[in-house]
Amino acid sequence: MSLQAWRGSHYVVAGLLTAVMLLWAAGAAHQAWSWRKVPVALPIVVTSAYDDWTDTLGRREMLSDVLARAGITGRDYAKFLRATHTLNPRRLQPGLIFDIRRLKGARVASRIDVRIGPEQRLWMTRQAGDSSWTESVENIPWNAERLRTTAVIQSNLYDALDAAIPDSFLPARQRVGLAWAIADVYDWEVDFTRDLRPGDRVEVLIERLQSPEGERRLGRILAARVDVAGSPSYAFAFDNAHGRTGFYDDRGRSLRRAFLRAPLRYRHVSSRFGNRYHPILKRWRTHEGTDYAAAYGTPVRATADGIVTIAGREGGYGNLVELRHVNGIRTRYGHLSKFAKGMHVGAHVSQEATIGFVGATGLATGPHLHYEFLVNGRPTNPQRKDAGAGEPIPANLKAAFDSVRTRLLADLSPCQGQRRRSAPRPAPPATNFLSTIRGALSRR
Ligand SMILES: [Zn+2]
């Protein structure tokens, strides 16, 4: 060992001793500090009977590759596979993390644990006697909290949420998920690629889940309010008669309608957030339809239940699907790169079913979808009222819905809840991202 290296390690030891002493002092001064947190427990690591390490399943790797690095090969590998019912070696995602423990000096690992999903952790333990493996699955308890946020649209829904929600409340990937989930709730009501204008507001009450390891993710959307051109549109989650959660407006009508607002899913056209991607905006008046810029191959969905009346090449439309719906309404989907399976004249198509894929066939300069909404043969700019009426909450559930809605509204818009004196006291107010941030700033 060189003198320099010796000095270096000497300093590390001295530094660690100081750190341990500081921790001791802190522990003595602060009774509330759990004893588990105090020791850095260096001596234990040094004398540990085990080596512990973490391994990751790489791209194009198989389970056997990771296990081989833990010494589990041949008969040991066969025994391992026989013991697990949860780990399917053919269906593992790259990036899966394995925590491995092996007795010092041993060849084969004695314990492996894998986080197989957000909800579960799998433990594989090797028995000392016959070296067989046992499997146990631990359910991870996620703790749910209600949180509220308000976002003001500048350019698009995702950017607005991204600006309103800090990482500490919801990580970036989960914020994308939140934007998509809100768009899904309002699928029949709002086309988030074109209906919103700068200054429109989105309020949402969500369930945020937190694991004991401190991970945070989006649970359910409980309630939302989206102001489109100044007029509010509410959504309240309610378990309907079929035991499924549906979303209802403030008057108890389902947000599901006969027609979807847009033929492309928001999560499909909004996938290039980072590039400040905006769809082509052309007015139907000059064009008799609506153009949606989207990547080549993006799935196109039927906006309503219907029957196929055209599925083929039609001049400037290129590959076209036309559907006939109730009330003399037809919809057209042009420039498709290809048709979905089963698209032939007379075929029944249900709402949201994929009918084809975005392309640039016919008179198109780049990949986009040309969507037409025809009423009695005349191209029309579909209004929200054209979507049809939402089914109301059945009479026997109306009282239950009203009380759920009152509670959710109080959490979603606390100021409105307080104004109504006769209303029951609202549940403990949901944490407001904005007020929490302001609180943090004002403490300085
Ligand atoms: Zn067009």
pLDDT score of 270: 66
Domain count, the chain: 3
pLDDT score of 26: 33
Tell me how far the alpha carbon of residue 280 lies from the centroid of ligand 1, in angstroms.
Answer: 10
By CB neighbour count within 10 A (0-12 exposed, 13-18 middle, 19+ buried), where does 424 fall?
Answer: exposed
Q: What is the pLDDT of residues 136-166, one digit of tens each?
A: 999 999 999 999 999 999 888 989 999 999 9
253 and 147 housed in the same domain: yes
Q: What is the pLDDT of residues 242-285, one digit of tens each?
A: 778 899 999 999 999 999 999 999 988 864 433 333 344 444 44
Last residue of a domain, one of 335, 354, 380: 380
Last residue of a domain, one of 328, 358, 380: 380
297 and 367 housed in the same domain: yes
Using DSSP's 3-state secondary structure scheme, residue 192 falls into coil
317 and 356 housed in the same domain: yes
- The pLDDT confidence band at residue 30, using thresholds 50, 70 and 90, is very low
Q: What is the pLDDT of residues 344-390, one digit of tens each?
A: 999 999 999 999 999 999 988 889 999 999 999 988 888 777 788 88
253 and 402 housed in the same domain: yes
How distant, in Å, are the alpha carbons of 122, 226, 264, 398, 403 from that of 406?
41, 17, 33, 12, 5
pLDDT score of 379: 87
Q: What is the pLDDT of residues 60-84, one digit of tens each?
A: 999 999 999 999 999 999 999 999 9
User: Residue 359 sits in a domain of what CATH number?
Assistant: 2.70.70.10
Report yes or no on 263 lying in a domain: no
Tell me how far the alpha carbon of residue 183 lies from the centroid of ligand 1, in angstroms.
Answer: 23
Looking from the CA of 170 toward its CB, the CA atoms found within 13 Å total 26
**Greater model confidence, 237 or 286:** 237
pLDDT score of 180: 94
- Whole-number mean pLDDT of the chain? 81
| Residue 406: φ, ψ to 5° | -60, -45
Tell me how far the alpha carbon of residue 372 lies from the centroid of ligand 1, in angstroms.
Answer: 8
Residue bearing tokens 């991204």? 162
Tell me how far the alpha carbon of residue 363 lies from the centroid of ligand 1, in angstroms.
Answer: 9
**Amino acid at position 14, single letter:** A
CA-closest candidate to residue 180, choices 268, 118, 114, 252: 268
110 and 127 housed in the same domain: yes
Q: What is the pLDDT of residues 125-134, one digit of tens each?
A: 999 878 899 9
373 and 433 housed in the same domain: no
229 and 373 housed in the same domain: no
64 and 135 housed in the same domain: yes
Tell me how far the alpha carbon of residue 289 lies from the centroid of ligand 1, in angstroms.
Answer: 6
307 and 341 housed in the same domain: yes
Domain that holds residue 185: 143-257+391-443
What is the number of residues in the chain?
A: 444
